[in-house]
Structure 1
Amino acid sequence: MTEVRNDWTKEEIAEIYNRPLLDLIYEAATIHRENKDYAEVQISSLISIKTGGCPEDCAYCPQAARYSTGVNVHGMLPKEEVVAAAQKAKAGGASRLCMGAAWREVRDNRDFDKVIEMVQAVNELDMEVCCTLGMLTESQAERLADAGLYAYNHNLDTSEEDYKRIISTRTYDERLQTLENVRKAKITVCSGGIIGLGEKVEDRISMLKTLSNLPQHPESVPINALVPVKGTPLADQAKVDIWDMVRMIATARIIMPKTVVRLSAGRTEMSVIEQSLCFMAGANSIFAGEKLLTTPNPSFDEDMAMFQLLGLKPREAFKNGRPKGAVKKEVAAE
């Protein structure tokens, strides 16, 4: 069985990333089969519970208030609408619902109280619940954990060295502190990055080093291909090459062998053949449903047809156990 390490060097990761492509895919696929039911892919659905108007300046993001991107700003969705979306996603095969709010940070106010209620309501559908709400304190993470939050997403986006080129309104250390707060609350960590931002290969390797050298590997690492949006500073970036995605996924699989590697944004630009190479290289999760917050995504029906063709099957919820606040009611009543 492959050893789980938290002491990878940039040189070691670079050597893996730059291997001949077929050798790289073969090694990643071998490790994937050792550690996972490789035909099992988690389907997650993403819903924007509060859209646009964000004070941050993330250069890729259509929800930043300072860019004119045509995104309609809307406040918090009603809980009933979120539950209905979760039910639809579950019927489509999703076992996890991720709720995103365009905030810089969580504030202890009525909107956060509403998020807590949403987390509890979606839990009752027997789905894993994930949130991505910006920066989070220890006490806020505890509240989410008590409500039954399964995962918290907070991406690093790029390397520490490249970070200031992409975002100036918060620091890399603040991102890492949020991940630490999430971990202390015993919520699973979902953290990855975006390629195609104009970064160098060295930046990709540095980001993977940071993720793989955390005290505990993230349970989930999303690998996103930039979806350029008109009005953002990165609107004119070239489409990410599929081989770059495959290299990132394969390298993540090798250095974080037990982590769920998510083939995330950018799938609409990929053929089924290209996506199948990503699954071969170790991806074992996707986001499904027509939208990823504000950008297009393949539909559930398209994905189910692809799963059938490739012999893949959806992963069940809570495969690795339930968090403290997500115990089923009949269990809690005993």
Structure 2
Amino acid sequence: MTEIRTNWTKEEISEIYYGPLLDLIYRAATVHRENADYSEVQISSLISIKTGGCPEDCAYCPQAARYNTGVDVHGMMSVAQVTDAAVKAKNGGASRLCMGAAWREVRDNRDFDKVIDMVRAVNELDMEVCCTLGMLTESQAQRLADAGLYAYNHNLDTSEDDYKRIITTRTYDDRLKTIENARKAKLTVCSGGIIGLGETVEDRISMLKTLSNMPKHPESVPINALVPVKGTPLADQPRVPVWDMVRMIATARIIMPKTVVRLSAGRTEMSITDQALCFMAGANSIFAGDKLLTTPNPAFTEDMQMFELLGLKPREAFKNGRPQTRQEALAG
């Protein structure tokens, strides 16, 4: 069985990333088969529970209030709306619902109380629940965990050195602290990044090093290809070649063998052949549904047709067991 390491060097990761492409795919596929059922793909659905008007300046994001991107600002969804969306996603094959809010950080107010109710409601549908709400404290993470949250998403986006070029309204350490707070609350961690921001390959390798050298690997690592949006500072960035996505996914698979690697944003620009290469390289998760927050995504029916063609099957919820609540832990 593959060794799980948290001491990868940049040189080691670089050697993997730059390896001959077919050898890289073969090696990643081998690691994948040693550590998981390669035909099983986790399907997540992502909904925006509060859209637009965000005070952050993330250069890629159409929801930042300071950019004119045509995104309509919407207040919080109701618990009933979220439950309806969750049922629809589950019927389409999703085992996880991810809820995103355009916030800089979680505040202890009525909106957060509402999120707690949403988490409870979706958890009762026997779906894994994930939230991405910005920065959060340890006590807020614990509240989410007590309500039944399964995962917390907080992407690194890029390398620590490149980060200030993309975002100035929070620091890299802020991101790492939020991940640490999620871990303290015994939540599973979903954290990855975006390629195509104008970063160097060295930045990509540095980000992978940060992820793979965490005390515990993130249970889920999304690899996103930038979807350039008119009105954002990165609107004119060229599309990422599929080969870059394949190299990132394969490298992530090799250095984090047990992690679920998600082929995330950018799939609408990929053919089934492109996506098949990503699955061969070790991707075993996708976002399904016609939108990722505010950007387009393939429909459930298209994905199910692709699964049938490639011989893939949706992964069941809680494959690795349900998280233990604080009450259960205290009970013994």
Range into which the TM-score falls when normalised by the shorter chain: over 0.9
> Would you say the 8 A contact 1:153–1:191 is kept in 2?
yes
1:213-228 equivalent positions in 2, closer than 5 A: 213-228=213-228
1:71 aligns with 2:100: no
Q: 1:293 to 1:326 in 2, by over 3 A?
A: farther
Structural RMSD (CA): 1.1
Aligned match of 2:200: 200
> Would you say the 8 A contact 1:50–1:102 is kept in 2?
yes
Separation of aligned partners in 2, 1:30 and 1:216: 22
> Would you say the 8 A contact 1:44–1:285 is kept in 2?
yes
User: Letter of the aligned partner of 1:86 in structure 2?
Assistant: A
Aligned match of 2:330: none
Could you report, residue by residue, the CA deviation over 1:205-250 in whole angstroms, capped at 9, with x for unpaired residues? 0000000000000000000000000000000000000000000000
Aligned match of 1:25: 25
Aligned match of 1:209: 209
SS at the partner of 1:203?
helix
> Would you say the 8 A contact 1:148–1:324 is kept in 2?
no
Could you report, residue by residue, the CA deviation over 1:31-55 in whole angstroms, capped at 9, with x for unpaired residues? 0000000000000000000000000
> Would you say the 8 A contact 1:146–1:324 is kept in 2?
no
User: Letter of the aligned partner of 1:221 in structure 2?
Assistant: V
> Would you say the 8 A contact 1:149–1:326 is kept in 2?
no
Aligned match of 1:178: 178
Instruction: Quote the offset at 1:324 in angstroms.
Output: 3.0
Separation of aligned partners in 2, 1:168 and 1:254: 32
Instruction: Quote the offset at 1:323 in angstroms.
Output: 1.8
Aligned match of 1:155: 155
User: Letter of the aligned partner of 2:185 in structure 1?
Assistant: A
Normalised to the residue count of structure 1, the TM-score between the two structures is 0.97
Could you report, residue by residue, the CA deviation over 1:54-92 in whole angstroms, capped at 9, with x for unpaired residues? 000000000000000000001100110000000000000
Aligned match of 1:331: none
SS at the partner of 1:44?
strand
Separation of aligned partners in 2, 1:119 and 1:43: 18
Aligned match of 1:190: 190
Separation of aligned partners in 1, 2:100 and 2:326: 19
1:110-121 equivalent positions in 2, closer than 5 A: 110-121=110-121
SS at the partner of 2:144?
helix
Aligned match of 1:131: 131
| Structure 1 gap ranges (5+) | 328-334
Normalised to the residue count of structure 2, the TM-score between the two structures is 0.98
User: Letter of the aligned partner of 1:307 in structure 2?
Assistant: F
1:14 aligns with 2:6: no
Instruction: Quote the offset at 1:326 in angstroms.
Output: 11
Separation of aligned partners in 1, 2:136 and 2:190: 14
> Would you say the 8 A contact 1:135–1:175 is kept in 2?
yes
1:279-318 equivalent positions in 2, closer than 5 A: 279-318=279-318
> Would you say the 8 A contact 1:147–1:326 is kept in 2?
no
Aligned match of 1:142: 142
Separation of aligned partners in 1, 2:182 and 2:325: 14
Separation of aligned partners in 1, 2:226 and 2:257: 25
| Structure 2 gap ranges (5+) | 328-332
